[in-house]
């Protein structure tokens, strides 16, 4: 609110040549400035949702031995803009028998649910829209708007398939909120605060300071959270509500044009949000190795801006890497049947995540921070993490080599080509 006030005062002084403290219309200008800020935030979200769609389609293409969009703009980076424009220009179809107010309002509700989550994401050292002191809880709460929105879409479409999709989706989202919340509870226990900036501040820049490597239960909690988050976001292998080949896109089925794009928009934004939450809750967020947040807060001028930019970049890199992982999982795995999905949640994820909370509590009580046992645990976990990364990387390298040999034998050319020659 301070920034808003400053900007508003600046505007009032320069444009209207009035003193903000005594001018009767100050509040109006501030309201307008708030509105503009909200619009900018919306555009900001678009900047994330749009390119995520481009990344997804290019990665999907690569995985599937094809190219993906590469016509609109260099390497197709503007494809999402083109899609947006196309959808704006489409006819706004509302089925004659549909429940009109519900049908029209549903995409906006879903979108609000996703959009609201961006408010508390800590992008950088001082860069967060609103550092709520119930940040994590707010994240969990705002996504429940999405559930209501999906039910609205399913019912409002007045189609049995849409209702199927909406109800399945609501059941799935509501169920997977439980392991998701429990895993985040582990994080809150370690951090001692619900505020998102506080959680990041409780970690450090180096990997052994990240929450994921604090103890084995946190390591498992990361994967539990990641799985539950993928399910929350309706991504394969949990994309039953949008199962194209079974219920033909479920709750989306009657939507076309911009309303349809809003649902997709919300889905891509959600991928980014899940990755961002995993990044700041488990992987250290924007923390820069080697420098503490207080030191950053103490700098001034261009150095301050530089540190902010660096912390922003680190956070973006971590979140984008996880976005890649989510996308690759989607295009590799088949989907679970609805009862298998529910069984996975209630019989496996929920007990496991409760176990993680218990484990973290026990270790919190028994293992003092900074002591010998703590260092051993952290070291072991970092070792485990490195081992996982190494094994995966070696496997990829081996497969690549085999394929390259095979390709050279078959085609007579080399498989590798430099990125600047991407088709």
Partner 1 sequence: MTPAEIRERVSAACPGAVEEFQADLLDPVLRLRPDRLREVCRFLRDDPGLRLHYLRLVTGIDRPAAADSETPGGIDVVYHLWSYELRHGCQLRVRLDRANPVVETVSDLWPDANWYERECFDLLGVTFAGHPGLTRLLMPADWVGHPLRKDYARPERYHGLPTSRATVLAEGRAAEVAPAMHDTKAQPIEGYLRLNMGPHHPATHGVINFLLETDGEILKKATPDVGYLHRGIEKLAEQVGYVGTMPYTDRVDYLGAMFTNHGWALAVEKLLGVEVPRRAEFCRVIASELNRIASHLISTGSLAMDLGAFTPFLHWIRERETINDIMERICGARLTYNYLRFGGVSRDIDPETLDKIKHWIDHFEPMMDEFDRLISSNEIFVRRLAGVAVISPADAIAYGLVGPNLRASGVAWDTRRDEPYSIYPEFAFDVVTGRAVHGTLGDAYDRYDCRLREIKESLKILRQAMAAIPEGEARVKVPRPKPAANEVYARVEGPRGECGFYVVSDGTEKPYRARFRTGSFTAMTIIEHLSPGLMLADLVALIGSLDVIAPEIDR
Partner 2 sequence: MIPEPVRALLFYLCAGLALAGGCWVAFARNIVHSAFALLATFAGVAGLYAFLSADFLAVVQLMIYVGGVLVLILFALMLTSRIEEARVSNPTIGLVPGAVVLIAVSALLVYACVKEFGGTTDLPPGEPTTAGIGDALLSRYVLPFEVISVLLLAVLLGAVTIAGGRLRKPAPGGKPGKERP
Residues at the interface with partner 1 (CB under 8 A): 60, 63-66, 160-161, 236-237, 239-240, 243-248, 331-340, 406, 410
- Residue 259's binding partner among partner 1, partner 2, none (Cβ under 5 to 8 angstroms by kind) is none
Element (DSSP H or E) covering residue 81: helix 79-88
Angstrom CA distances, 161 to 151, 156, 157, 192, 254, stand at 13, 12, 9, 45, 10
Q: What count of other Cβ atoms lies within 10 Å of the Cβ of residue 325?
A: 14
Nearer to partner 2, 40 or 97 (CB): 97
For the CB of residue 34, give the shortest distance to partner 2 in the complex, in Å.
8
- Residue with Cβ nearer partner 1 (19 or 244): 244
Q: For binding to partner 2 (CB under 8 A), which residues are involved?
A: 1, 5, 26-27, 30-31, 99, 101-102, 109, 132-134, 137-138, 140-145, 147-148, 151-152, 154-155, 163, 167, 170, 174, 177, 194, 339-340, 343
Q: Residue 335's binding partner, choosing from partner 1, partner 2, none, with beta-carbon cut-off 5 to 8 A by kind?
A: partner 1
Minimum CB separation from partner 2 for residue 358, in Å?
Answer: 15
- In the DSSP assignment, the letter for residue 74 is G
- What is the nearest approach in angstroms of partner 2 to the Cβ of residue 268? 22
Nearer to partner 1, 84 or 165 (CB): 165
Q: In the complex, what is the shortest distance from the CB of residue 336 to partner 2, in angstroms, rounded to a whole number?
A: 12
Binding partner of residue 99 among partner 1, partner 2, none, CB cut-off 5 to 8 Å per kind = partner 2
Phi-psi region of 403 (alpha: psi -120 to 50; beta: other; left: phi over 0): alpha
Q: Residue 410 binds which entry of partner 2, partner 1, none, with Cβ cut-offs from 5 to 8 Å by kind?
A: partner 1
Contact of residue 387 among partner 2, partner 1, none (CB under 5-8 Å per partner type): none
CB atoms within 10 A of CB 375: 12
Q: How many CA atoms lie within 13 A of 275 on its CB side?
A: 23
Identify the sign of the CA torsion 350, 246, 68, 332. positive
333, 350, 405, 421 from 400: Cα distances, Å: 20, 38, 9, 19
Task: Give least dist CB 28 to partner 2, A.
Answer: 8
CB of 354 to partner 2, least distance (A): 13
Asked if the bond preceding 308 is cis, omega within 30° of 0, the reply is no
* 58 close to 68: Cβ distance less than 8 angstroms: yes
């Amino acid at each position: 609110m301070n920034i808003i006030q400053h900007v508003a005062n600046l505007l009032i002084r320069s444009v209207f040549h009035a003193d903000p403290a005594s001018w009767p219309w100050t509040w109006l200008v501030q309201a307008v400035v708030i509105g503009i800020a909200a619009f900018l935030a919306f555009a900001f979200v678009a900047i994330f949702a749009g390119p995520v769609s481009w990344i997804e389609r290019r990665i999907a293409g690569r995985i599937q031995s094809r190219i993906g969009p590469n016509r609109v703009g260099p390497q197709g980076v503007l494809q999402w803009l083109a899609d947006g424009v196309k959808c704006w220009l489409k006819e706004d179809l509302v089925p004659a028998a549909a429940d009109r107010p519900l049908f029209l309002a549903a995409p906006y509700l879903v979108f609000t649910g996703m959009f609201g989550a961006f408010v508390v994401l800590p992008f950088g050292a001082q860069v967060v829209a609103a550092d709520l002191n119930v940040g994590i809880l707010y994240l969990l709460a705002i996504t429940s708007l999405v559930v209501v929105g999906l039910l609205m879409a399913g019912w409002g479409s007045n189609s049995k398939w849409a209702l199927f999709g909406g109800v399945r989706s609501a059941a799935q989202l509501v169920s997977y909120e439980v392991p998701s919340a429990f895993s985040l509870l582990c994080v809150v226990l370690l951090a001692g605060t619900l505020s998102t900036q506080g959680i990041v501040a409780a970690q450090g820049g180096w990997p052994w300071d990240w929450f994921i490597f604090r103890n084995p239960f946190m390591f498992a909690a990361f994967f539990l959270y990641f799985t539950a988050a993928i399910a929350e976001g309706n991504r394969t292998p949990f994309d039953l509500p949008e199962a194209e080949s079974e219920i033909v896109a479920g709750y989306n089925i009657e939507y076309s044009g911009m309303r349809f794009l809003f649902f997709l928009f919300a889905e891509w934004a959600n991928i980014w949000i899940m990755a961002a939450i995993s990044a700041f809750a488990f992987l250290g967020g924007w923390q820069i190795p080697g420098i503490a947040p207080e030191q950053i807060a103490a700098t001034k001028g261009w150095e301050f801006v530089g540190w902010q930019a660096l912390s922003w970049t680190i956070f973006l890199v971590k979140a984008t890497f996880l976005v890649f992982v989510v996308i690759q999982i989607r295009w590799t795995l088949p989907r679970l049947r609805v009862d298998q999905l529910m069984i996975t949640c209630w019989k496996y994820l929920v007990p496991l995540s409760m176990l993680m909370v218990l484990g973290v509590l026990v270790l919190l009580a028994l293992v003092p921070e900074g002591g010998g046992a703590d260092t051993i645990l952290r070291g072991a976990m970092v070792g485990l993490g490195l081992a996982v990364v190494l094994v995966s990387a070696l496997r990829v390298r081996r497969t690549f080599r085999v394929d390259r040999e095979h390709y050279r034998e078959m085609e007579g050319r080399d498989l590798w080509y430099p990125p600047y020659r991407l088709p």
